[in-house]
Amino acid sequence: MTRKLFAVDVGNLCVLCLQDTSLGSGLYVDRIPGDTPICNKKGEQIGMRSGYYCPKCGGYNCDRCDEPIWVDSEYMADCCYGEDVDKFPDGAVHICEDCLTPKEKQLMEELDE
């Protein structure tokens, strides 16, 4: 049996947190077009929500503390260790500013000089 999925366009709302991303909301410039599945209580996909991700929901979660990172606000290993490094020594890929170690902050400053 093939089940039809329904689609919901939420307009200017974030497809995850439903926060307003319209012009004047302060989130318009950094919003990202996207969609996300809608699931029933059994975890089965029953539809799709289309609209935009706000900058927080559209970004990554920090690999160290698991907190959301706003779009383009994450730090990656190449910021500290150079272009050829794609992971931090602990295996993290995307981290927030609060999770940078003092050594990583120092290395990042040295690379910027």
Q: Is the residue at 110 inside a domain?
A: yes
| Spatial contact of 29 and 69, defined as CB atoms under 8 Å apart | no
Q: What are phi and psi of 109, to 5 degrees?
A: -65, -40
Q: Domain range holding 10? A: 6-53
In a domain, 12, yes or no: yes
Residues 69 and 27 reside in one and the same domain = no
Q: What would the DSSP string read from start to end of 41-59?
A: TTS-EEEEEEEEE-TTTTS
Count of domains for the chain: 2
Contact 50, 70 (CB under 8 A): no
Q: Going residue by residue through the chain, which has 113 residues, state the pLDDT in tens, using 9 for 90 and above.
A: 567 888 888 999 999 999 999 999 999 998 999 899 999 999 889 999 999 999 888 888 999 999 988 878 889 999 988 888 899 999 999 999 999 999 999 998 888 77
Quick check: is 106 in a domain? yes
Give yes or no: residues 77 and 35 share one domain. no
The verdict on residue 64 lying in a domain is yes
Q: Would you call 109 exposed, middle or buried from its count of C-beta atoms within 10 A (0-12, 13-18, 19+)?
A: exposed
